[in-house]
Chain A
Amino acid sequence: MRKTRTDPRNPTLGEKLRRLLISQEGVLFLIMLVSVLFLSSRTDKFLTVDNLLQQGRFMTEIGLIAIPMTYIIITGGIDLSVGSILGLTAIVLGWTWQELGFPLELAIITGILSGTVAGFINGLFIVRVGVPPLIMTLATLALYRGLAEGISEARSARGYPEWFFQLGQGEFLGIPTQLWLLIVAVIIFGIILARTRLGRALYAIGNNETGARFSGLTVNRHLLFIYAFSGFMSAVAGYIFVSRVSTTRSDMGTGIELDVIAAVVLGGTSIFGGTGSIPGTIIGVVLIQLLKNGLTLSGVTSDATIVVIGSVLIFAILVNNFIQSRGDES
């Protein structure tokens, strides 16, 4: 096979398009397109503006947490404690407001701060003590959830004022309020990952941490930052979640870490680190949400839906692996 003669540094438009199509994100996007076409042929309730916006509302929390999770997995790490941090934030928010009598604004800030601190503690132990991220965040998965249960004593905080629900249940310019937040976050953190020194440092750490250290990168500071960032985003997601469901419970966000990791990995981020992108992750989040909703709308029950989603996950990864390996050979 002879290679094409185009200069790789200066590709033609056609070449650019071809590369985009066979990229991880491109393949995934095609799979999503096919799924949407299929689902909308099964039911006319699926492809409506109202329904899609509603799905956007439902997927915001997972989407927000998936951003730092992409960063973390690119460095070869993982954060299993995000669901527990979400729950802890919700409980701290409700508890400081209802039991300690904080003004609600302050309670929100306290909640988000404690989530960020929780993520920072993860980072601290991982960086300073050298606990593997899997072990550390598995431990805090239990610890933060236990804390949330201990603080709340199985009681819920309810009865928030009307303005508090604006973020989770309201709309801005016809689009669910929290979806704006997700869109802005995706753009900003997508650019940071793809176009800045910080982003390139994360890939470097994931590809070869020792190498990155010897190249003078402040690896520890970067890791500390992304785990704290993960705590922060989980906390923001917790705040949105409380605002959406209008109550706090200590079991909020249970199992969300698996949904997030599934979306990130589906989006083409390698669990071994070094590759991945925010656009891929977001396509992963959207694909899973649309499948969940579309299948239910076309009369598939929830237990069968999770089977289908699992199968699509495996299928998408297989197709992508096949195409990427072909791409490498040609």
Chain B
Amino acid sequence: MKKTLATTLILALLLALAGMPLSADGHERWDGADDLAVNPLACGMGDEMMSDEDGDMEEGADEDMEMMEYDGGMVAMHDDTAGMDITLVDVPKLVGIGYFAATTLGQQQAAEELGNVSVTTDAPTEANIDDQIQVIDSYITQGVDGILFAANDPVAIAPVLRKALESGIHVVGYDANSEPDAREWFVNQAEFNGIAKALIDSLVDQMGADASFGIVTSTFTTPNQARWIAEMWAYAGACYPDLEWLETLEAQEDAGLSFQQAQTLINKYGEDLDGIFGMTSVATPASADAVNQAGLCEDVAVVGLATPNAMKPYVNEGCVRDVILWNPVDLGYAAVYVMRAVVDGEFKPGDTSVMAGRLGELVVVNGSEVLLGPPFTFTAENINDFDF
């Protein structure tokens, strides 16, 4: 019995090792960055940037439009519901977590403002591709005017969304995209280069343009993290060439390991270390914890992607200044406005922007995506207003 378990474990270990990628060679790029093309935003920082962000964004969008035609799907003929009351169903990845409770809140706010939209949120209680497909299929059978979704898998969800379009149901995605032709529009919460710029700008603002920093990421091959790091590398190279990148450490998405890796950076580089980037919502609070326990809050700036609840203790204590993410309430809010504009025929393929209530004008990027705007920075002033 013991022998069996031991054999099983060894077998599993060997196979897992065999499956591991060999260490990425990062002569050119920072460790953990992918090899895809990068598209760094213009240099500039913080508030000053925010004010002329709109202008920049639109220019960028114009360029994009020339490069990229509308690549979303087309809804089949259906009854004209422009201006009439419409019923929408919202199918996020799962229900019962704070993040999607926040997007639902934003949707309800938009529905209330508009007055002629009702939205029901329904999704599996686990992020399961098949359950999500079945929920969407049921709502197609039931008959709704529009479907809002956040895909658990971009490809797996595509057939059922195409079926919705074929049945004359409008489809708009948010948070997690599907294949472009399976939906009409996707509300993109933040582009990789936007997040990268916000992270680097925050570090430079706190520690200066010649700061030295380390990165705690999930793994070198995790797609989102690799993309962000590549964009950070490109943006830092173009705007802050004096920034010194020390090392990137992998920590899966494991809180304990992330803490250890942050400690490794602190111990290894000591005085030289000015900042740590946390690339996952686990690594950022763990790094903040490590810095806090080492008593280095003043000397090492932790900047990263994380959810407000995990970071509240460190931000309220003053150990961490900026937490970068996007505002999921605005994300859900924008999705409903985009859907309403699509149903009313005010937002059509080829348009370069759409009006979204209190968020103002949102620009179209990448053919058929609506960009929510620059990433949202949670600070001591606003972090306590959020609960996710």
Which listed residue (B12, B20, B129, B130) contacts A143, Cβ 8 A? B12
Are the CB atoms of A246 and B158 closer together than 8 Å? Answer: yes
Assess whether A153 is in contact with B19, with CB atoms less than 8 Å apart: yes
Query: In the complex, how many angstroms separate the beta carbon of A276 from the nearest chain B beta carbon?
Result: 26
Least distance between A187 CB and chain B CB atoms (Å): 26
Q: Which of B151-173 contact A (CB under 8 A)?
A: 153, 155-156, 158-159
Contact A249 B129 (CB under 8 A): yes
Is the Cβ of A146 less than 8 Å from the Cβ of B135?
A: no
- Contact between chains at B95 and A303 (CB < 8 Å): yes
Complex interface: chain B residues within 8 A of A142 (CB): 12
Total A-B pairs, Cβ < 8 A: 104
- Check if B159 sits within 8 Å of A302, measured CB to CB: no
Q: How large is the interface on A (under 10, 10 to 19, 20 to 34, 35 or more residues)?
A: 35 or more
Contact, CB under 8 Å: B21 / A156: no
Measured in the bound complex, the distance between the Cα atoms of B220 and A153 in whole Å is 11
Distance to closest chain B CB from A45 (angstroms): 5
CA–CA, A153 and B4, complex, Å: 27
- CB-CB nearest in chain A for B19: A150
* B134 contacts the other chain (CB 8 A): yes
Are B5 and A139 in contact, with the CB atoms below 8 A? yes
Question: Contacts A150-B16, A302-B95 known; A297 to B141 CB distance under 8 Å?
Answer: yes
Establish whether residues A247 and B125, one from each chain, have CB atoms under 8 Å apart when the complex forms: no
Considering the complex, give the chain B residue whose CB is closest to the CB of A142. Answer: B12
Are A245 and B135 CB-contacts (below 8 A) given A45-B143, A146-B12? no
Are A245 and B155 closer than 8 Å at their CB atoms? Answer: yes
Residue A302 contacts which of B123, B129, B158 (CB distance < 8 angstroms)?
B123
Tell whether, in the assembled complex, residue A169 and residue B159 are in contact, meaning their CB atoms are under 8 Å apart. yes
B360 at interface by CB-CB < 8 Å: no
Bound complex: CA A151 to CA B18 (Å): 8
A293's partner among B1, B138, B221 (CB-CB below 8 A) is B138
Find out whether the CB atom of B96 lies under 8 angstroms from the CB atom of A303. Answer: yes
Q: Which of B77-133 contact A (CB under 8 A)?
A: 95-96, 120-126, 128-131, 133
A113 to chain B, nearest CB (A): 17
Docked complex Cα distance between A50 and B126 (Å): 27
Q: How far is the CA of A288 from the CA of B159 in the complex (A)?
A: 24
Contact sample, A vs B, 14 pairs, CB 8 Å cutoff? A48-B141, A130-B1, A131-B4, A142-B12, A143-B12, A146-B15, A147-B16, A150-B19, A153-B21, A245-B130, A249-B156, A301-B95, A301-B120, A302-B95
User: B-side interface residues toward A, CB under 8 Å?
Assistant: 1, 3-5, 8, 11-12, 15-16, 18-21, 95-96, 120-126, 128-131, 133-135, 137-139, 141-143, 153, 155-156, 158-159, 221-223
Binding site for B on A (CB under 8 A): 43, 45, 48, 50-51, 54, 58, 125, 129-131, 136, 139-140, 142-143, 146-147, 149-151, 153-156, 158, 169, 241, 245-247, 249, 251-252, 254-255, 292-293, 296-297, 299, 301-303, 306
